[in-house]
Chain A
Amino acid sequence: MSRAEAATGPAGIDVGSASPLWTLGLLRSELVTTFRRWRTLALLGVLAAVPILVGVAVRIETRDGSSVGGGGGGGPAFITQITNNGLFLVFTALAATLPFFLPMAVGVVAGDAIAGEANAGTLRYLLVAPAGRTRLLLTKYATTMAFCLVATLVVAVSALTVGALLFPLGDLTTISGTQISFAEGLGRALLIALVVAASLIGLAALGLFVSTLTNSGIAAMATTVGLLITVQILDQIPQLHAIQPYFFSHYWLSFADLMREPVYWDGLVKNLELQALYAAVFGSAAWARFTAKDITA
């Protein structure tokens, strides 16, 4: 459907000099295609279910006034604070989904970006349009990043809703022990969601690069998710501490530093720098591969 629009829509535009308006049209059609897929909707549904599960579980466990996890401090970050303030469910849900659920969803979408089109035989039709390969690649990357943001916001909004329904809201205590108002807490929650979304940029670029290497969408998705799992495991092995700071997932949990007072920026800055580096390296590698590749499907 949108493939056809994409191919016929720009009729009349000069060869090789597509207007920015046209790029927006391509982006819009890509976004619509991506977010209309059942696969994408199912992924978002799973992500939205995680906070519900965590919230209900904590609610049932603490119904009789006992503390979460027996007070041992186990489980995902912030989970013990949920009972004081429902807003903490947002942070807990993001901490619970960031190591695996969120990047897995991003890996599926990013891996599918180019290879999926090639697999379905639609890639060459997309390239017939006067967008050029670079522009198509950028559009695909922008779509993937939009998915990162939407997926994170789905988790955050679902968590906020569940948190507000099941737990009290109000002024909250930061992990440094100081108090901030609920409005500021909401602001920080939004900031944290943005940081979490930005944490996925590196993986999105990696997935896009993998996607240009193969013509099989499944292979690209499996490779990306496989890389994610491998890196997550390697990040746990203490003997590898020398290379761990260069893993894209190494500083993911640093988003929690936004809940300190004053905010501790070291890890956050390192995380964003690392994501930018991954985006630059694998983005340009994807460009080098995609613009030089023979498109046979």
Chain B
Amino acid sequence: MAPYESDDTRGAEEVDDLHSVRRKAARYVVPVAVVGVAAATIGLVPALADSGDPDLPKITAQQLIEKIAKSDVQQLSGTAKITTDLGLPNLGGLESGLISGATKGGDGSSADPSTKLPELASGTHTLRVAADGPDRQKVSLIESAAEYSLIHNGKDVWGYDSKSNEVYHGTADQNGKKHRDEVPATPKDFADQALKSVDDTTSVTVDGTAQVAGRDAYRLVIKPKHASGTTVGVISIAVDAKTGMPLKFTLTPASGGAAVVDAGFTQVSFAKPAASTFDFTPPKGAKVTEEKDAKARGRSGERGAPHKKFAPQRGLTPQKGLAKEGTKVLGKGWNSIAVFDSGTKGGIPSSSGKGDLGGFLGSLGDHVSGKFGKGTVFSTRLINALITDDGKVYVGTVTKDALVKAANAGQ
């Protein structure tokens, strides 16, 4: 019937029905095999690519710390991934809404670094960093089909939010350094903070080697010596064997589970980035907010407030982050607790002050009582805070019980 039919299925049908059915079924092996090969590739390739830990000459922890301190990487470009899991209640967009809502007085620019960078405090983000000497740096936060860039070139600091096409402009002598210190983003920022907190309550060891972003690295492990009381489990820092530059930072809580902070380069190069990387001209039609305009609106005073929330995180240990006026530090090392008076009665800081927000926050905490009276504990996987009803705030990377104990003792 089909004289031009090149496939033999039709003829076969009449001759041997069973044979034909088998042949037909056999064709489906092809798509199944493709799926199988793909699944195997997805499963096996990462395992094969992991070529094991590199062989590097032995080094002591002291030498490695010195290496980090001496590290003088002036030029680099790379991609870093940062995952923060503080165990905050998952409020979806509400959380960041609250943060930016508290930060900007309504008409703030979305390109202002102080509204944008706190986003890093939760979830996974991809950053691109480039640096060429002390005067030229760039950090870009990669978003879906958009990007937020913070560019420091000479005396200018530009923030560019491509999603809203808004530009923030500041000057460097006050800002360039400040912004980089405010929110740690690169593994090096985290490592510097962690090393600052090294004292006699801490054990520092070198725990073998690792491969990070295709480079050989030593693994430096920092552990609190007395594990009871603190929520910090282990801090592990991968240090590039050649340059002494920290490539990966991981903080695991004492309670176990996923890392609270995991920041590492996925790709890094120590070549000089193209000069055009740091050039920025505000695009035509973009809304430019000058730093002094922002200040004139009285926002610089407010700006301190939201950062208080993130201060413990950036300090890792409270005495670094919260050493502000009116703050006392109880205990030492990893078990230290910062105490300050929020100046409010009722237990909930009024700085959140947006009507129902106080009651809303109260519902998120656990109510505790002790010799000190009554209070509310706000827990994350790393930092716990006790706000007593008479307005005292106890904050630390310590357990809830340790906070209550400190509050009792302080009474």
Contact = CB atoms under 8 A, between A and B. Distances in A.
Interface in B200-235: none
Interface in A160-178: 168, 172-173, 175-178
A280 interface: yes
Interface string B1-13: 0111111010000
Given A72-B164, A81-B283, A284-B30, A134 B146 contact: no
B380 interface: no
A291 B146 contact: no
Given A128-B4, A256-B145, A287-B27, A81 B165 contact: yes
B151 interface: yes
B31 A285 contact: yes
B5 A127 contact: yes
A261 interface: yes
A62 B287 CA distance: 13
A133 B165 contact: no
Contacts of B142: 260, 264
Interface string A83-97: 111000000000100
Contact of B27 (A68, A168, A292): A292
Contacts of B276: 178-179, 261
Given A73-B163, A84-B165, A130-B4, A176 B147 contact: yes
B6 A78 contact: no
Interface stretch (B154-162, B175-183, B191-199): B154-162
A11 to B, nearest CB: 11
Most A CB atoms within 10 A — which of B4, B5, B7?
A: B4
Given A67-B285, A280-B34, A80 B164 contact: yes
Contacts of A42: none
Contacts of A95: 145
Interface in A191-233: none
A261 B138 CA distance: 12
Contact of A288 (B27, B162, B285): B27
Most A CB atoms within 10 A — which of B6, B128, B276?
A: B6
A145 to B, nearest CB: 18
B24 interface: yes
Interface residues of A, number: 50
A71 B285 contact: no
A98 to B, nearest CB: 10
Given A256-B145, A292-B27, A85 B284 contact: yes
Given A67-B285, A168-B284, A292-B9, A175 B277 contact: no
Contact of A129 (B4, B144, B158): B4
A176 B163 contact: no
A161 B285 CA distance: 21
Contact of B38 (A67, A175, A277): A277
A71 B164 contact: yes
Interface in A93-107: 95
Nearest to A124: B2
B24 A177 contact: no
15 contacts: A15-B4, A17-B6, A71-B165, A73-B163, A80-B164, A128-B2, A173-B281, A176-B162, A177-B147, A177-B151, A264-B128, A277-B34, A280-B38, A281-B35, A292-B24
Interface of B: 2-7, 9, 23-24, 27-28, 30-31, 34-35, 38, 79, 110, 128, 140, 142, 144-147, 149, 151, 158, 160-166, 276-277, 279-281, 283-287
Interface of A: 15-18, 62, 67-68, 71-73, 77-78, 80-81, 83-85, 95, 127-135, 168, 172-173, 175-179, 253, 256, 260-261, 264, 277, 280-282, 284-285, 287-288, 291-292
Given A280-B31, A291-B7, 14 more contacts: A15-B4, A68-B165, A73-B110, A73-B161, A80-B165, A85-B283, A95-B145, A128-B2, A133-B7, A134-B6, A173-B283, A175-B162, A177-B140, A282-B31
